[in-house]
Amino acid sequence: MRTPVIAGNWKMNKGPKEAAELILELKPLVEGAKATVVLCVPAVDLQSARQALRGSKIRLGAQNVHYMPSGAFTGELSAAMLREAGAEYVIIGHSERRQYFGETDETVNLRVKAAVAGGLVPIVCVGERKEQREAGYTDALVTYQTLIALTGLTPEEVKKVIVAYEPVWAIGTGLTATDEQANQTIRVIRDALSARYGKRVGNAVRIQYGGSMNPKNAKGLMAQPDIDGGLIGGASLKAADFAQVVHFDR
């Protein structure tokens, strides 16, 4: 059985003080969760979040990592830096990083390998734009993105990676794939992993849905057999909403 992972992506929201306040509000609301709960916060919040999370089972994550261990890369953070700051997880290849900051499939792969080598669990984002779905390229695209991202990892390392399917057309738009659409595409990703690394690996990798999961649609999406959690944007910024998603089984 795959343990679901509900991860909040705070994006560029909340300073250190607000981060601590939100976490302290959230902690009692997610006690007893059957899912692994992760908060991926802005880098400036890592220290205050780490302090606020003490005594809870909520895990801490970052939103990006550089592929070099050190060097002249102004504004970037290495896996070792993130680990020392308390992060255990890191989002890699989010569509916003691809769209606004020039992230490519190749740099995603470099970052994934650096994260794994540095002891972080990557949450690797893949997904299609609206015109790509309408043209019938969804399956080929998510397969390519997934396999390129994981190139160079061993099967045992792949098992520890989390993949987040985020249809780009559903992020921040209020739109969402139907439960069946989301599961179908996630099944394509799982089949691709099984074909490349074997069914044992394909069945072990946790694959999230990252297209505007919220309290209203979480239960239906999570009832699908291949959806193992969510990468939550806007709903993760409100403790009550995020808690409802975490407790999707209630």
Alpha-carbon distance 215 to 66, whole Å?
33
The mean pLDDT value for 46-51 works out to 98
Domain count of the fold of the chain: 1
Q: Cα–Cα–Cα angle for 148, 151, 156, nearest 5°?
A: 130
Q: What is the per-residue pLDDT for 45? A: 98
Q: Inform me whether the pLDDT recorded for 172 exceeds 90.
A: no
CB 9 within 8 A of CB 94: yes
Q: Is the pTM of this model over 0.85?
A: yes
Q: Which residue out of 96, 103, 128, 166 is catalytically annotated? A: 166
Among the listed ranges 58-62, 93-97, 119-123, 212-216, which one has the minimum average pLDDT value? 212-216
Report pLDDT digits (tens) over 71-81. 999 999 999 99
Amino acid (one-letter) located at 64 = N
Report pLDDT digits (tens) over 93-116. 999 999 999 999 999 999 999 999
Domain containing residue 10: 5-246
Alpha-carbon distance 26 to 238, whole Å?
8
Report pLDDT digits (tens) over 21-31. 999 999 999 99
Q: Tell me the C-alpha to C-alpha distance, in Å, between residue 191 and each of 7, 153, 203, 206.
A: 23, 18, 9, 13
Mean pLDDT taken over the chain: 96
Percentage of residues in the chain with pLDDT exceeding 90?
A: 92
φ, ψ (nearest 5 deg) of residue 117: -60, -30
pLDDT band with cut points at 50, 70 and 90 for residue 39: very high
CATH for 131:
3.20.20.70
Q: Which of 48, 233, 249 is nearest to 241 (CA)?
A: 233
25 is a catalytic site residue: no
Q: Inform me whether the pLDDT recorded for 83 exceeds 80.
A: yes
94 is a catalytic site residue: yes
